[in-house]
A and B are shown apart, each in its own frame.
Chain A
Amino acid sequence: MEEIDQYFNQVYDQYVNKIYRFIYLKVSLVETAEDLSSEVFLRLYRHIQKNNPVIENPQAFVYQIARNVIADHYRSKKITVVSIEKTTIEIEDIQERTREQGEVSLEMDRIKEAIAKLQGDYQDLIIWRYVDELTVPEIAQITGKTEENVRVGVHRAIQALKGKVDV
């Protein structure tokens, strides 16, 4: 029991900020990001309880759980189309929270807004490569794709982002 808690705490301390940021940039709401991040680490804890506490690649593992949790979240919400009106509300909400919390500037809000408009895979690649600064091999381990495919994906993602920021 102690061994499980110790290992969980170690992984939690190392990745909680990254996982929260990853989720927050995709859902844009603090409360939802907190709830989903909690769910990620709850699933991690259950996995450690059931299996061997040592996970070969904890980073890839927690990001994979995070992707599943986000997918489950949107599936449960049945969100298929995000209307322009809703996006505007979300942007306003992000801006309000940003002002309140003083976390990032309004310039950053434009970038966040642009990321939120990208398709899911591109969002992941942008966050991993340029926000969390993971290496291409690390991203390849998370996604299960070849390094070459990741490089191409990252290139396309940044081009897509440029297009969204320019709009």
Chain B
Amino acid sequence: MAYEKDLITKLSRLKEIEPRNSWVLFAKTSIPNEANKEIGQNPSLIYKIGHLVSYVRYLERPAYIFAVLAFVVFGGIGYKVSQNSLPGDPLYSVRSIIEKATTGSDSSATFKVAERRLADLRRVVEGNKVKNLASATEEFNLSVAEVSRGLLALVENEPEKALQASRELVQLQKGKAQIEQILGATIGEEETSGLKSATKILVESELNDLLKRSLTSEQEVLLKEAIGAYQAANYQKALENIWMISN
């Protein structure tokens, strides 16, 4: 009987088992949000913060701390080194993966990628890094092909955004021309031709739009010049005039 009493006393001490405070708070805020999410309501800011805080529990174990620290330190070093890599370098694939993961897939993103590839190519040319030249050129050509496709899709589906994109396009073409001047050669003839076709379609679309609008006499003059530039296949000049009319 005394033994039974002792056992019961010990059992009552199991009351000391309590959940972690962080979990109690997290569950309290996340459960209503989880239930509401199922019926189509968005989680609140408190839930989002609570969710982030909940990850702190993984830091309670030393093994996790070392793993996380190792990941942060080596990952950080790897990330930093890969960011300075150029096409043709061993770590370039890491940079490429990170870029793909952090850059969207819309037309604005394709321009950003092309600008980066152009910057890479400029570094290669200016630094006279011969071993990287072929890879850098190939990467740039691929990005230009993407820009051409993106531009055509933009003219077709979102013409209002196409004019804005054309500014980035002209910058890209200017940058390319500068590098070609340094190299003394044309980069990616096929891709350049594709880009030119896409630009032509963009200019046509913008000119057709302007012809339907009522313009001031000053704008009429600019439009005539733009049409002349278009007929002379000087699409860059045509675009510059279109911008002036649109502003």
Contacts and interface: CB of A to CB of B under 8 A. Distances in A.
A74 interface: no
The size bracket of the interface on A is 35 or more
Given A34-B23, A46-B35, A20 B8 contact: no
A132 to B, nearest CB: 7
A42 interface: yes
Interface string B32-47: 1011000100000000
B11 A104 contact: no
A71 interface: no
Contacts of B15: 21, 131-133
Given A158-B4, A165-B7, A37 B32 contact: no
B18 interface: yes
A126 B11 contact: yes
B32 A5 contact: yes
B212 interface: no
B16 A104 contact: yes
A153 B181 CA distance: 93
A12 to B, nearest CB: 6
Interface string B1-35: 00110011011111111111001100110111011
A8 interface: yes
Given A16-B19, A20-B18, A132-B15, A108 B31 contact: no
A38 B34 CA distance: 11
A94 B12 CA distance: 18
A132 B11 CA distance: 9
Contacts of B12: 130-131, 133
A30 B70 CA distance: 26
Contacts of B35: 42, 45-46, 49
Contacts, number: 85
A17 interface: yes
The size bracket of the interface on B is 20 to 34
B8 A21 contact: no
A46 B39 CA distance: 10
Contacts of B20: 30, 34
A21 B14 contact: yes
B24 A42 contact: no
Contact of B11 (A46, A49, A111): A111
A162 B16 contact: no
Given A16-B24, A158-B7, A162-B4, A41 B31 contact: yes
Contacts of B24: 16
Contacts of A46: 35
B11 A21 contact: no
26 contacts: A8-B32, A16-B19, A21-B14, A21-B17, A33-B19, A34-B19, A34-B20, A34-B23, A37-B19, A42-B31, A42-B35, A45-B31, A45-B35, A104-B17, A111-B14, A112-B14, A127-B14, A130-B12, A131-B11, A131-B14, A131-B15, A133-B12, A133-B15, A158-B7, A158-B8, A162-B3
Given A4-B32, A20-B17, A24-B17, 19 more contacts: A12-B28, A16-B19, A16-B28, A17-B19, A20-B18, A20-B19, A21-B14, A25-B14, A34-B19, A38-B27, A41-B27, A41-B31, A42-B35, A103-B17, A108-B13, A108-B14, A112-B14, A131-B11, A131-B15
Interface of B: 3-4, 7-8, 10-20, 23-24, 27-28, 30-32, 34-35, 39
